[in-house]
């Protein structure tokens, strides 16, 4: 507590995380569970990026968007997990108010970016399946660059404005209900002005509701087109769309879970809250590489070659010894 008092005396408002369950007793257990998970997340996403980067036949819009999702997963995990490691091994689970706002900003920027990328992928599948003759024109390199730029900069611009407005609010409660900074930050403010609430709703609509609606609408059109197709065309279309739909479902579950987290201090127990928080941290960074690595045939083909080459080299080295 002395550290907290010193930081407050220096003008920095310190917040404490209340979402850990008996961290003083199970801190090393938290670390031993989270650290391998973080390494696995990094490994999975780096492998996907490496495979797509090094194989020219994967330099297509769909695979570029998949690589962008993996980059987001790497950033998302790096924003959250290292701080968790420090907190698990520390006596005080604290963060500065400014640091909390920055972590929350990155958390939602990357989550929103994922939705925009999924929307771009839905459009890519729509053009490929429903307008195949227009694909090369509609999904040109310029179009891909525009999609990537919008996916990364639109959320940053809007959510940065919210963060700046939040930073000017007075803090009354210094205990966060979770163990990382997300929507729970709004609960520590004394009051939330009506203009800020309206702006948050507008940004939520722009960065979550509208993209999800457009994604669902696009896939409805795709599946109507697939329904009227026959044989191999239908099977191929379903196989390419299935991973996207599954990732979309998991993303919606993750967003819904985050809403629950925002209400957790008055609705659910601390242990259930911990489980929900962990699910949010696992779904986003792991679902993309697992789904696309296993379900996309071209990626899986290169992954098998890469893994078989590695195992062959290892056997050769062992034989040489």
pLDDT for 268 equals: 60
What one-character DSSP code corresponds to residue 132? G
Q: Among 109-118, 184-193, 260-269, name the one with the lowest average pLDDT.
A: 260-269
pLDDT value, residue 177:
75
In this prediction, residue 117 carries a pLDDT of 92
List, for residues 228-277, the tens digit of each pLDDT value.
766 666 666 666 677 777 777 777 777 766 665 655 555 566 666 667 77
Q: What is the pTM of this model?
A: 0.83
pLDDT of residue 214: 92
Q: For residue 297, what pLDDT is reported? A: 64
End-to-end CA distance of the chain: 55
Say what the pLDDT of residue 321 is.
45
Decide which of 311 and 122 is more confident.
122
Please write the tens of the pLDDT for every residue from 27-77: 788 888 889 989 999 988 888 888 888 888 878 888 899 899 999 999 999
- pLDDT surpassing 90 at residue 156: yes
State the pLDDT confidence band at 288, using cuts at 50, 70 and 90: confident
How high is the pLDDT of residue 119?
Answer: 92
Determine what percent of the chain is predicted with pLDDT higher than 90.
Answer: 16
Instruction: Give whole-number Cα distances, 132 to 9, 66, 163, 204, in Å.
Output: 64, 20, 42, 33
Q: Which of 264, 247, 274, 289 is nearest to 40 (CA)?
A: 289
Q: What is the mean pLDDT of residues 140-161?
A: 93
What pLDDT, on the 0 to 100 scale, is given for residue 47?
A: 86
| Residues 203-225, mean pLDDT to the nearest whole number | 88
Domains of the chain by start residue, with CATH: 13-311 (1.20.1070.10)
pLDDT at 267: 55
Half-sphere exposure of 165 (CA within 13 A, CB side): 17
Q: How far apart are CA 239 and CA 250, in angstroms?
A: 18
Q: How confident is the model at residue 158 (pLDDT cuts 50, 70, 90)?
A: very high
Please give the average per-residue pLDDT across 175-191, as a whole number.
Answer: 79
pLDDT band at 120 (very low <50, low <70, confident <90, very high): very high
Least confident of 14-28, 31-45, 112-126, 269-283: 269-283
Long-range contacts of 66-70 (CB under 8 A, 24+ apart): 66/121, 66/288, 66/292, 66/296, 66/299, 68/117, 68/148, 68/151, 69/114, 69/117, 69/118, 69/247, 69/288, 69/292, 70/45, 70/46, 70/288, 70/289
Lowest-pLDDT range of 15-29, 67-81, 150-164, 189-203:
15-29
Where residue 9 falls among pLDDT bands split at 50, 70, 90?
very low
């Amino acid at each position: 507590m002395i550290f907290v008092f010193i930081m407050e005396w220096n003008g920095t408002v310190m917040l404490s995380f209340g979402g850990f369950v008996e961290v003083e007793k199970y801190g090393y257990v938290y670390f031993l569970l989270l650290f391998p998970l973080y390494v696995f997340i990094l490994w999975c996403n780096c492998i996907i990026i490496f495979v797509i980067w090094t194989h020219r036949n994967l330099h297509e819009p769909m695979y570029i968007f998949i690589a962008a999702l993996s980059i987001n997963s790497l950033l998302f995990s790096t924003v959250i997990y290292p701080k968790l490691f420090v907190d698990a091994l520390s006596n005080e689970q604290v963060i500065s108010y400014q640091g909390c706002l920055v972590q929350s900003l990155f958390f939602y920027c990357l989550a929103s970016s994922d939705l925009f990328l999924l929307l771009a992928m839905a459009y890519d599948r729509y053009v490929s399946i429903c307008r195949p003759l227009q694909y090369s024109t509609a999904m040109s390199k310029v179009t891909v660059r525009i999609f990537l730029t919008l996916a990364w900069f639109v959320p940053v611009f809007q959510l940065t404005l919210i963060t700046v407005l939040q930073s000017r609010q007075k803090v009354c409660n210094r205990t966060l209900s979770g163990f990382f900074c997300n929507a729970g930050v709004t609960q520590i403010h004394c009051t939330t002005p009506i203009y800020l609430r309206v702006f948050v709703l507008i940004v939520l609509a722009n960065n979550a509701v509208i993209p999800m609606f457009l994604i669902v609408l696009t896939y409805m059109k795709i599946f109507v087109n697939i329904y009227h197709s026959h044989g191999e065309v239908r099977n191929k279309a379903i196989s390419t769309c299935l991973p996207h739909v599954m990732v979309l479902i998991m993303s919606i579950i993750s967003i819904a879970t985050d809403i629950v987290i925002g209400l957790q201090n008055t609705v659910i127990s601390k242990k259930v809250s911990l489980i929900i928080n962990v699910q949010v941290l696992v779904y986003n960074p792991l679902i993309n590489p697992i789904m696309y690595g296993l379900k996309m045939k071209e990626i899986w083909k290169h992954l098998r070659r890469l893994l078989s080459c590695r195992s062959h080299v290892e056997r050769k080295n062992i034989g040489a010894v």
